Amino acid sequence: MRLERACGVLLHPTCLNGPFGIGDIGPAAHRYLDWLAEAGVRWWQVLPLNPTGPWQSPYNALSSFGGNPLLISPELLVRDGVLAPSELDALRGLPEVFVDFEALVPAKLGLLHRAFSRFLEQPPHGMTPALATFRHEHRDWLEDLALFLALRDAHGGVAWHQWPTDLALRRPHALASWGAQHRRDVEFHVFCQFLFDQQWRELREHARSRGVLLLGDIPIFVADDSADVWAHRELFLLDAQGQPTVVAGVPPDYFSETGQLWGNPLYDWAALERTGFFWWIERFRSALRLVDAARLDHFRGFVAYWEVPADAPTASGGRWVAGPGRALFDAVRVALGDLPLVAEDLGFITEDVTTLRRELGLPGMAVLQFAFDPAQPSSFLPYRHERNLVVYTGTHDNNTTLGWYLQDASEAEKDFVRRYLGTDAQEIHWDMIRAALASVAALAIVPHQDLAGLGADCRMNTPGLAAGNWRFRITDWMLSDWHQQRLADLIVLYGR
């Protein structure tokens, strides 16, 4: 992927402002696109858009193919005739400054059930044939996902390993019988996927009209409790009951002294290769129908990944195991052509990882918050950047820049960053934004929290901490003309 010099902003749609308890892909998202375009921003980066599980992490989704129904816009459902305006009142009492998932999820799903009932009673003009077309186009994954979600609902949200054995292990007679008896429940989830798809298409068309490109995210691993694993057990390293024998993680790094025990099941790469990597080809195809390019999470795991015994208490006792390497990407290229990908090459990066990334022509990443350890000169320092690179002040896994400077950075790092940037650090977030935009790296991306100068309480995710993440939302003042113009001035100044 060859990037043109540009600026991007990182903000997940759940973080958008509005009165309905969570950001969504309706009018607020369209207004945000306008705000970005008017600042001269050419990329909007989002996190994975898939349906989330109990901890609401987009990196631990219930499916790698479906969309998150929590992102469906209630306002657009009113416009389309499947909700009445008064029905939106069920969401208006929810907090606007953070996402209260415990209250939001039942309220939002209740609203979607009402929309589905109204659709069954009196389908709006054109919606039934559009739904039929959507079902046909996505038949390879849609029925499995809808059945999985309906089963999950019927069993109180427990993981699929805890369902009755015949359903957990997908015995055909049991699935056919259950699906026939609960057809309406299955169809509800088909309907939600359809709504997400229609609303996202509308948003993407608006982005194109404003000259804003969308950068998505493809996590390397999938959740154990997902339609992916339930429907394709043969592609993962599982025991006879479907439980992982080994799980994913990373060794100790700058995020954690004991490593990170992610717990995702690992792929049976030999089995995937025997299929010509068909599942991965379809995953790339599905992800890139929604966005213009995608960040390929944990790129080093395609070269070698950290394998941890499933019963290990931490990730520190794992081992490196060879991944599929170039064979996977060659198969994908034959099937789909050259793909617009950015390699997330953070963490423990060896020469073979760098070699593969460069052979594939993929941009790597640099994070400025990791650049300023004076005892260990970093390749993330701006003077060491290269053109084919995406530079961030921080990512969704980092503290905000202000939070990093005030809470995480050592005194030596603070001294180094002040001297390097020639600043008194009174506006360290804007100092770092300026450094990113001034870099030779083709693409500079700034989390919206840094544009607004927010502290540690507004970070998106804390790695290694399951609860309390993914709740941040912007408010109206963070979209002021002042913020927009200050960013616009830097975009012009640094030719982005």
Which residues are identified as catalytic? 297, 344, 397
Which two tokens mark 98?
Answer: 């953070």
Calculate helix-pair angle for 278-288, 326-336, nearest 10 degrees.
60
d(CA 393, CA 428): 11
Helices marked H in 40-68 — which ranges?
none
SS3 200: helix
d(CA 304, CA 323): 5
What's the N-to-C CA distance of the chain in angstroms?
18
Calculate helix-pair angle for 326-336, 351-360, nearest 10 degrees.
10
Which two tokens mark 293?
Answer: 């390019």
Q: Are strands 389-392 and 341-343 parallel, antiparallel or unpaired?
A: unpaired
Which residues have C-beta within 8 Å of that of residue 137, sequence separation ≥ 6? none
Q: Mind giving me the DSSP string for 85-152?
A: GGGGHHHHTS-SSB--HHHHHHHHHHHHHHHHHHHHHSPPTTHHHHHHHHHHHTHHHHHHHHHHHHHH
Q: Do 448 and 400 contact (CB within 8 A), yes or no?
A: no
If you ran DSSP here, which 8-state letter would residue 163 be given?
A: S
Helices marked H in 211-288 — which ranges?
227-231, 269-274, 278-288
